[in-house]
Amino acid sequence: MNYNKKTVKDMDVKGKKVLLRCDFNVPMAKDGSGVITDDKRIRAALPTIQYLLDQGAAVIACSHMGKPKGEVKPELSLKPVAVRLAQLLGKEVIMAEDVVGPDAQAKAAALQPGQIMLLENTRFEKGETKNDPELAKAMASMADLYVSDAFGAVHRAHASTAGVADYLPAVSGFLIQKELEVIGGALANPKRPLVAILGGSKVSSKIGVINNLLEIADTIIIGGGMAYTFSAAQGGKVGDSLLEADWEEYANDMVKKAQEKGVKLLLPVDTVCADAFAPDAKSQVVAAGEIPDGWQGLDIGPATIKLYCDAVADAGTVIWNGPMGVFEFPAFAKGTEAVAEALSKTSAITIIGGGDSAAAVQQLGYADKMTHISTGGGASLEFMEGKELPGVACLLDK
């Protein structure tokens, strides 16, 4: 896939109506009060929005929220987003009552340069997730140009993320531009050594990533729940730990492939195991592959922490995706915390691949020490797998 895409700066947007796909899928308070509990994704869209408005464009922003499955669900309305966005921009955000219905069409037609409006949740339309050409055409009919800035959604071929590009010239916003430059650069031409840290619960969800990284990385570090599948594959005892028995053969293949390619594949040498999956469970440190029956591994042990932190100390580039243990339980967060701290101290280019790793880095206060924190969990994973991302492939090449 070509990562060198045209951006908003390559287009004359003055006096144009711009359909801007954002990722406003923000977490909301569970009590139905319409309170946004974290506005990070809205703030992330501000540079592109502000640039378009300053250049004299009329902005028609759109996004999905949640999974309404083609039905109008008031609790998943983007109205609270419009309110927050207006506060952040210091100007009115006109809210449409629908996506491509009469209200959206009328408000888009009346929109003047320097004004911004927000369409209702794109997934209120049944055709959105099916990439329905009629819906894409109707959305495109309101604008002169399409700008994609929702990296968290580019791995999906939906009407608002890919389909509209069939009917409008399509370019990236600043958010996607940075993702493509940083992650694309790390994959295509990394500063070496390239160290990839992969955690999380399942081997099955990281197969493509491990496979692709075996072609380009110098060191691959495995942590989290998926380490126990590797351990079991090598004859280790994993007790009641998370285990994907169907993937043991695959895990052994990866170890073999790493040896053949001269890639260092680091697996835990010790484990913090517990007698229950609970924040206050009784715990002990055991050697990897020696977890007693009835116990389960919930974090990497101290010797593994040292091994992993040493591996990133002299790295040129580090990509991290997935925690090292059950980091939502403080007693089993030490591995994840130590890796985050090690990354904050290294002079390497540090890329955090969204999701739980991003949450961990933010919570621990190391966010400003990282080179780049991806705004898309699933999208950054598929990017690292070397897959074509439909919402990027549809943009104009430079």
Would you name the residues annotated as active-site residues? 41, 202, 355, 378
| Residue 161: C-alpha distances to residues 19, 139, 205, 390 (Å) | 11, 11, 23, 8
How many residues comprise the chain? 398
| Residue 351: C-alpha distances to residues 54, 321, 335 (Å) | 31, 9, 18
CA separation for the pair 63, 139 (Å, rounded): 12
- The separation between CA 176 and the C-alpha centre of its own chain, rounded to angstroms, equals 12
CA separation for the pair 106, 331 (Å, rounded): 56
CA separation for the pair 398, 388 (Å, rounded): 17
Q: Is 178 exposed, middle or buried (0-12, 13-18, 19+ CB in 10 A)?
A: middle
Give me the half-sphere count of Cα atoms (radius 13 Å) on the Cβ side of residue 91: 12
